[in-house]
Structure 1
Amino acid sequence: MTDSAGPWSASHAEAGHAVAAGQDTSAWTQPPRERLEELTRGAFVPSGALAQAAEAFRPRPGQTEMAAAVARTIEQGGALVVEAGTGVGKTFSYLVPALLSGERVLLSTATKTLQDQLFGRDLPRLAQSLGLPVRMALLKGRGSYLCAHRLDLARRDASLPDRTALRTLAKIEQWAQGTRTGDLAEMPGLDERSPVLPLVTSTRENCLGSQCPKFRQCHVNAARREALAADVVVINHHLFFADLAVRESGMAELLPTVRVVIFDEAHQLNETGVQFLGRQLGTGQVLDFARDVLAAGLQFARGLVEWQPLVAAVERAARELRLVVGGGNYSTRLRWSGEAPEGVDPLAWDDALAVLASALEQAAEGLAVVNEVAPDFVRLQERASTLAQRVRAFAREAEPGSVRWADAGTQLRLVESPLDIAQAVQRKLLKTGEERDEAERQRAWIFTSATLGDDERLSWFTEPCGLSQAQVLRVASPFDYPSQAALYVPRQLPPPKDPGHSAAVAALAQRAARRIGGRTMVLTTTLRALRAIGEQLQAHFAGSGELEVLVQGQSPKRRLIERFREGAAHGHAGCILVASASFWEGVDVPGEALQLVIIDKLPFPPPGDPLVEARSQRLESQGRSPFNDYFVPEAAVALKQGAGRLIRRETDQGVLVVCDTRLVQMGYGRRLLAALPPMRRLKDEGEFEEALGALGP
């Protein structure tokens, strides 16, 4: 059995597809609740159902303990938070009682990758071994699915960037003739970063709904119907919170009909939720809107409105707003506690916002003239009005209890968000403090992940998620870490703030990776360190054919991981993977393909980040210590996630190197060390070399 994880691009509505496992669902009757825990435990014995569902299954006390706790929560209702260490097999721990309960289940994951695994592999295999006739549905965001109407518009779009885009569009057109689900993840060789994708998918803003000429062919609506008819629906956190924010998509219809809701990889819930429970506006959104107006105007209403100057005014205003902020192409998060983002002239900022709002309002007026010509114009008029309202809202003061910032990169993104999701969870999900009907009291909420905190109450997770009153269970990993893994903190490296630190990390990685023939992952805490270390390693091994250095951002994530897993097989060179951000979690590379993980420095939150600052200030106002109650727990969880890439199976062997002496020199280092798996400690460089030698070339 495996634990799985993995980021997902946000979207604001849903789609999906379903499959039935077994026979007619009416054949399955819900067992008496008092029997559910007994049935669940029976599935985990050596001769139980799991022995058929999972290869090389063997009973694990922690896995059974977690499954029994999930069963009790389903029986009694309420909220359960479970931290299940790597190797526990938490996926089956929640799936078995959920399926045996006979209840309708909503299962939310962190990413589309994990969604696909659950829907395509784990759920069907388990339902078959349990002999349960379960109908399952996979529900993704609109951005994951082909929109037939927008594909038609893209065919006539003269502004496609290059020949590569034209070839991609042609491949999508050919694939569209045979797909049943419209799920673009099923299309071989499609780059998820392709600029064509936004042209052939819909969003909540540009969907025409029942007025769409392709409404009967709509993959979104077909998926929604299948999800509403399914027993188990697999969604993701982005979709869940997008729906919670707008209450307009099919999820709003689905949630009241389920009694069991399970969040896997729940450690991402808070950061995902704050993205959707606030307000956002991007110049990229505005430019997409302008492109759609011009395409629809020239296709359906040429000559009725002067489309070119109307669109040019919107595009010019969006670009001027971006230019007011200044800066380069690298993304920078700017504080915004006053009238304008930090370092931006307030008068110029107000003028730029006013010009953009006015241009959008004029576009809405122009679209109103032709809104009876085609349904596209009705939706475009609504989009123009909504965007104008958002611009006006950002010209006013922020809502109390929220924080604002501006992300300035190639495009500009304005964000206003709550500091956490606690209030939304309490009010919209658990509905505490309200008169709850029997169905609400009986609903079971299960939250699980391999990493949820570094204290007994898992406060890092439960406090910001409004779950301080939930039942908490911690299940340790079954791996024998002292014999499988070692931890080394090199004392000779310069401190993290030293300008030469990244070069020293790269040199260490170069020597160690050469010693073991690759099989090395370097995790960095910043993109600057990613570039510095990646470039130094690539320059060193360039043309040697000795090792291949893979660097995040130079290829799609999926391709990087596939190449890294392959390693030195089939005559290829061994690999070093240098990565940051999303690679710290959700990357599963078992076996000898990964035996050395190097972390450049302790992953404390960036102190200058506006959201981090606002959370720190709130703790100070409560008389608490931001460092002890926020920075250290955040670093502990992130460090634990990064270290979790090393040992993925009972037979794995490896070494973790943390290139930050604060881990062993500062008082808080003891807390961070306690959060790591109990690996044996390597005292010096000699023991490190010996450990590498034991891994073999």
Structure 2
Amino acid sequence: MAQRFIVVDLETTGNAAKKGDRMIQFSAVAIENGEIQDQYTSFVHPGQPVPVFIEELTGIHDRMLADAPVFSEIAPRISRLLEGSIFVAHNVMFDLPFLQHELKTAGFAPFQGLNVDTVEFARIVMPDLDSYKLSDLAESLSLSHDRPHQADSDALVTAKLLLELMRRSSTLPLVTLEKLAALSYSLKSDLGFIFQDILAKKRRHAENLPPDIEVYRGIALRKKTISSGGTDFRKINSYPSGSIEKEKYFSAVFDEYERRPGQFEMMDHVRDAFENSRHTVIEAGTGVGKTLAYLLPSAFTAINGHEPVLISTYTVALEHQLLNKEVKLLEKMMQVPLRTVLLKGRSHYLSLFKFEQSLKEQTGHYEDVLAKMQILVWLTFTSSGDVDELNLTSGGKRYWRRIKQDGWHLGQKDPWMSRDFYLHAKQAAAHADIAVTNHAMLCSELGREPSLFDDFPYVVIDEAHHFEQTARETLGMRAGFNQIKYLISCLGLYEQKQMFYELERLTEKYGIIGKWHTFEINTLLQALDADMDDLFGILAKKVMERKKDTAGYQKIKFRINKAQWKQKAWQAVLLCAERIYATLKDIRRALIGRLELLQEKAAGLTEKEQAFIEELYSFLNDWEYLMEGMLQLMGKDDENRKVVWLEGDLRALPNSLVIQCQPVSVASTLQKELYAKKKCVVMTSATLTVNHSFQYFLNEVGLPKQNVNTVQIRSPFQYDKQVQFIIPNDLPDISSTGQEVFAEKMAAYLLAIAAETKGRMMILFTSFDLLKNVYHLMNESGLLDDFMLIAQGISSGSRSRLTKNFKKFDKAILFGTSSFWEGIDIPGEDLSCLVMARLPFLPPGEPVTEAKCDDLRTQGKNPFSAYSLPEAVLRFKQGFGRLIRRKSDRGIFIVLDRRIETTTYGRAFIRSIPAVQVKHQGLDETLKMIGKWL
């Protein structure tokens, strides 16, 4: 490029130059003619001490800056560097304003030229990345990044990133670049001139599209291919019956394969389940290798028996791991190609027709424009059209709701049907050997006629301990205050370019007169908006009344039952909810009436108008879901036993409030809509039994014991040699001391343990209040200054981010509640000590727990033994499973809750985990043992 780029990175004492923060390092890399020319770097004396957290982040300390120039001394050179250049930074909205302030303070003119943000550029050109942090981008692009958070290293990496992004942009199809260039002038940085420059060069040469790319209706997209559904000539051996035959398959792909008898045993049970059409439940301990143990017999059944198998797992990450890792291994083992497909709900897929029409809108809304540009690039490489591949902003996700696929309401009017992603996924599923889906998707199809999964007679449900909860969530509903307000705003209460006004324009154009006058509908919308404010305002006050019961935790759940509607204090809520439901119903009726009249005119509608009508029908699906939410809130649906509750964050009321509703039991639904309709359902997990019995799990998921085969396969790990299980005998029982004293004793105990284990410890809590108290006591003790303490709900970041940070540091302690009891995989020495503060009984006031216990009482059962205890035992097993992830792992397991040895039910916890000798000992003895053990 003829232009000269200056790529800048700054290190500073803080984020706010106007509040006194100053620069401590400056670096600039010059790029000309598409090549890096030179680099200028200098430390800068800030005139103030470097804060400790900045020193930890950057490695820059006061001694390094002692002889550095002040900014005014290097300002002339920086000013000359910037003159006539294009300013580039990774997050330009930080670096440029900070530099401008320093220049102004030093008496120099501010930079006046164009600027480019490589974060924004990377979002567009690589829309499928998980993270756009500079270090993560460097890793994904294999760019050397020696010293993250030092300006010279960051600036050089940003310069290389810029060149790579421009290179990738130049490979995009001409039609894609034309659209990107047109949209780019609504971005925050000046990327438009880059796209225009690349476009101008592209137009000078005839374009040869890659063979896997086509241009249809002005949009470039990857061509779709489906394996032939004709006669299957693939040859495959018979199922390997003996251990030696099985071992051949595994040794073909694993260099140092070690036979796992449990894996072979599980393979045979899955095979027998398919052959005998018998539902089977298998608990396979950690290390058995259950994924390949069910995939191998599934492949034999699908290919030799010509009957496809559906695999359902819990999360999106596990779905992709199955397809991208495990199935690839399976193909190598089988030495035959497998037809596999990933199936998700319709709304996961893009509607190309709606997207095409949205590109014609004259809108400059930033997040919409960014999402459009991301999708245009994504279409050149996606084969699925699945939104989970995209990293959209929150605003981009709102835009997706407009363009998602959710059926056709105007018949065959969609010109994109031949290339539709959802139809392609269905077609691929019809020819698949193995289809992969998730529990939520499987449950959402229950009872539908036809169902997406009708053609799969065999189903394997992995991570089955999550299945009952997922079924409850999927068969339930949730409606949040923000979601409702967004729907009302979409319809057009305040903006005249929204749906209602566009519908008015259309009906006037075609001479349609609705039963409801425009003024009446607008009045209804205003009343609805006001009533929603009133309803959630009252509910927020009800929630705040429970604040004293939260023990300092900001998130609260508050159950609503029918008895409350009879109370005088709740009459205002009931009346408001009834009024809202009536208004929602009236507005829906008015919209449907006009849409039906418009459909009669469908032959004369333009494509833009057709796309709008499809979008409005999508909107009405959400509107009807909201109506259902109001019915549930009022307790009007008596078809099934259901539990209704409010949940929200006390710091953000009423905005955070959500109405939730779930069935108390899903057993009968699963029996009727899943097990009765399939030849065989195999359910497997590492944690399904309580005291070696499957009864609790079978009851929850609705499988009659007499009609199911149950199998328990032990882990190959030698837990008695890999784990030291300790119950301290010198800590008090929390019930006798109270939480405050217990927290102090626990913190003192863990400080000593942490010093001996050198961190590498995870502490699991059932109460956020106890976690918070122990964390602060340990953090403020002054004894762990060289340790990194990471706490859920205190340290910022998601569960995966906190876990990743824990692995980064040699001396780290991870404090977790709820979600940390399972699904965390920290193998090796990163986790050497697992501590359970309390046995994981669910809080009795938790809405679903309370409702299930009420239900059991009406059946004459003991809620503790029938629900609370088995549920706690399963969570205990899941927590224990975090410690040993590999055959070579060793660890200390400490339970601080004395109930495990002082109560009659405590033995149920110990019997449910692998056989490990329990040691009752004091702290001194434990410290000596840890020193020898680790």
TM-score category (smaller protein): 0.7 to 0.9
Indicate conservation of the 8 Å contact 2:824/2:882, yes or no.
yes
Of 668, 676, 685 in structure 2, the residue corresponding to residue 449 of structure 1 is 685
Question: How far did residue 94 of structure 1 move?
Answer: 0.9
Letter matched to residue 430 of structure 1? Y
Indicate conservation of the 8 Å contact 2:792/2:799, yes or no.
no
Of 450, 455, 459 in structure 1, the residue corresponding to residue 695 of structure 2 is 459
Indicate conservation of the 8 Å contact 2:270/2:297, yes or no.
yes
Counterparts of 1:290-329 in structure 2, within 5 Å, are: 290-294=488-492, 296-297=498-499, 300-301=502-503, 311-325=525-539, 326=541, 327-328=543-544
Question: How far did residue 174 of structure 1 move?
Answer: 4.7
Of 765, 769, 784 in structure 2, the residue corresponding to residue 528 of structure 1 is 769
Task: For residues 160-197 of structure 1, give each alpha carbon's deviation from its aligned partner in whole angstroms, at most 9, with x where no partner exists.
Answer: 8xx8998778656654554333344444xx48x94643
Matched, 1:181 2:384: yes
Cα 1:485/1:316, change in 2 over 3 Å: farther
- Aligned residue in 1 for 2:616: 377
State the distance in 1 between where 2:797 and 2:781 align: 20
Cα 1:119/1:555, change in 2 over 3 Å: same
Task: For residues 336-371 of structure 1, give each alpha carbon's deviation from its aligned partner in whole angstroms, at most 9, with x where no partner exists.
Answer: 332547998321121120232133234325534753
State the distance in 2 between where 1:521 and 1:100 align: 42
Matched, 1:689 2:889: no
Indicate conservation of the 8 Å contact 2:346/2:405, yes or no.
no
Task: For residues 434-474 of structure 1, give each alpha carbon's deviation from its aligned partner in whole angstroms, at most 9, with x where no partner exists.
Answer: xxxxxx67x12101000002144411211121212211000
Counterparts of 1:629-644 in structure 2, within 5 Å, are: 629-644=866-881
Counterparts of 1:541-580 in structure 2, within 5 Å, are: 544-551=785-792, 554-568=796-810, 574-580=811-817
State the distance in 2 between where 1:653 and 1:259 align: 42
Cα 1:143/1:84, change in 2 over 3 Å: same
Indicate conservation of the 8 Å contact 1:339/1:397, yes or no.
no
| Largest Rg, 1 or 2 | 2
Of 310, 313, 319 in structure 2, the residue corresponding to residue 106 of structure 1 is 310
Task: For residues 458-507 of structure 1, give each alpha carbon's deviation from its aligned partner in whole angstroms, at most 9, with x where no partner exists.
Answer: 11211121212211000111111111111122334443452223454444
Q: Structure 1: state its 5+ residue gaps.
A: 1-16, 432-439, 569-573
Cα 1:151/1:242, change in 2 over 3 Å: farther
State the distance in 1 between where 2:641 and 2:832 align: 43
**Larger relative contact order (Cα-Cα within 8 Å, sequence gap ≥ 6):** 1
Cα 1:95/1:345, change in 2 over 3 Å: same
Task: For residues 626-683 of structure 1, give each alpha carbon's deviation from its aligned partner in whole angstroms, at most 9, with x where no partner exists.
Answer: 2222221111111000010000110001111222111111111111111122233333
Indicate conservation of the 8 Å contact 2:643/2:851, yes or no.
no
Matched, 1:333 2:557: yes
Cα 1:224/1:363, change in 2 over 3 Å: same
Indicate conservation of the 8 Å contact 1:324/1:344, yes or no.
no
State the distance in 1 between where 2:700 and 2:635 align: 27
Task: For residues 77-135 of structure 1, give each alpha carbon's deviation from its aligned partner in whole angstroms, at most 9, with x where no partner exists.
Answer: 01011011111111111111111222300000011111111111001211221123210
State the distance in 2 between where 1:253 and 1:263 align: 17
- Aligned residue in 1 for 2:281: 81
Of 499, 513, 525 in structure 1, the residue corresponding to residue 739 of structure 2 is 499
Letter matched to residue 687 of structure 2? T
Letter matched to residue 569 of structure 2? D
Letter matched to residue 662 of structure 2? S
State the distance in 2 between where 1:51 and 1:476 align: 22
Indicate conservation of the 8 Å contact 2:751/2:783, yes or no.
no
Cα 1:43/1:588, change in 2 over 3 Å: farther
Indicate conservation of the 8 Å contact 1:105/1:260, yes or no.
yes
Task: For residues 51-78 of structure 1, give each alpha carbon's deviation from its aligned partner in whole angstroms, at most 9, with x where no partner exists.
Answer: 2234532112221111111111111101
Cα 1:19/1:261, change in 2 over 3 Å: farther
Matched, 1:262 2:460: yes
- Aligned residue in 1 for 2:294: 94
- Aligned residue in 2 for 1:436: none
Of 675, 679, 682 in structure 2, the residue corresponding to residue 430 of structure 1 is 675
State the distance in 1 between where 2:375 and 2:786 align: 36
Greater Cα offset, 598-607 or 166-175: 166-175
Letter matched to residue 451 of structure 1? T
Letter matched to residue 515 of structure 1? E
Letter matched to residue 805 of structure 2? R
The two structures have a TM-score, normalised by structure 2, of 0.63
Question: How far did residue 511 of structure 1 move?
Answer: 3.8
Question: How far did residue 272 of structure 1 move?
Answer: 1.2
Matched, 1:404 2:643: yes
Question: How far did residue 229 of structure 1 move?
Answer: 2.5
Indicate conservation of the 8 Å contact 1:422/1:464, yes or no.
yes
Indicate conservation of the 8 Å contact 1:453/1:637, yes or no.
yes
State the distance in 1 between where 2:886 and 2:265 align: 20
Cα 1:348/1:359, change in 2 over 3 Å: same
- Aligned residue in 2 for 1:605: 842
Q: Secondary structure at the match of 2:892?
A: strand
Matched, 1:489 2:695: no
Indicate conservation of the 8 Å contact 1:597/1:655, yes or no.
yes
Q: CA RMSD in A?
A: 3.8
Question: How far did residue 557 of structure 1 move?
Answer: 2.7
- Aligned residue in 2 for 1:61: 261
Letter matched to residue 287 of structure 1? K
Indicate conservation of the 8 Å contact 2:739/2:770, yes or no.
no
Q: Secondary structure at the match of 2:445?
A: helix
Letter matched to residue 239 of structure 1? M
- Aligned residue in 2 for 1:72: 272
Greater Cα offset, 59-68 or 533-542: 533-542
Q: Secondary structure at the match of 1:597?
A: strand
Cα 1:386/1:140, change in 2 over 3 Å: closer
Cα 1:254/1:404, change in 2 over 3 Å: closer
State the distance in 2 between where 1:538 and 1:113 align: 34
Indicate conservation of the 8 Å contact 2:631/2:637, yes or no.
no
State the distance in 2 between where 1:70 and 1:299 align: 58
Greater Cα offset, 281-290 or 534-543: 534-543
Task: For residues 16-66 of structure 1, give each alpha carbon's deviation from its aligned partner in whole angstroms, at most 9, with x where no partner exists.
Answer: x999999998123687xxx64x44755532xx1112234532112221111
State the distance in 2 between where 1:530 and 1:25 align: 61
State the distance in 2 between where 1:20 and 1:240 align: 23
Indicate conservation of the 8 Å contact 1:486/1:656, yes or no.
yes
Question: How far did residue 290 of structure 1 move?
Answer: 2.0
Task: For residues 261-303 of structure 1, give each alpha carbon's deviation from its aligned partner in whole angstroms, at most 9, with x where no partner exists.
Answer: 1000101111111223345544444234224323742784477
Indicate conservation of the 8 Å contact 1:19/1:135, yes or no.
no
Of 111, 115, 120 in structure 1, the residue corresponding to residue 324 of structure 2 is 120
Cα 1:393/1:524, change in 2 over 3 Å: closer
Cα 1:164/1:650, change in 2 over 3 Å: farther
Letter matched to residue 905 of structure 2? Y
- Aligned residue in 1 for 2:753: 512
Q: Secondary structure at the match of 1:646?
A: coil
Cα 1:514/1:55, change in 2 over 3 Å: farther
State the distance in 1 between where 2:790 and 2:259 align: 40
Task: For residues 383-409 of structure 1, give each alpha carbon's deviation from its aligned partner in whole angstroms, at most 9, with x where no partner exists.
Answer: 434533542454354426513221231
Indicate conservation of the 8 Å contact 2:266/2:290, yes or no.
yes
Q: Structure 2: state its 5+ residue gaps.
A: 1-222, 509-517, 548-553, 599-608, 649-654
Overall identity of the aligned pairs, in % = 25
Indicate conservation of the 8 Å contact 1:333/1:405, yes or no.
no
Cα 1:289/1:55, change in 2 over 3 Å: farther
Letter matched to residue 910 of structure 2? L
The two structures have a TM-score, normalised by structure 1, of 0.83
How many aligned positions are there? Answer: 651
Letter matched to residue 333 of structure 1? K
Indicate conservation of the 8 Å contact 1:567/1:575, yes or no.
yes
Cα 1:659/1:155, change in 2 over 3 Å: farther
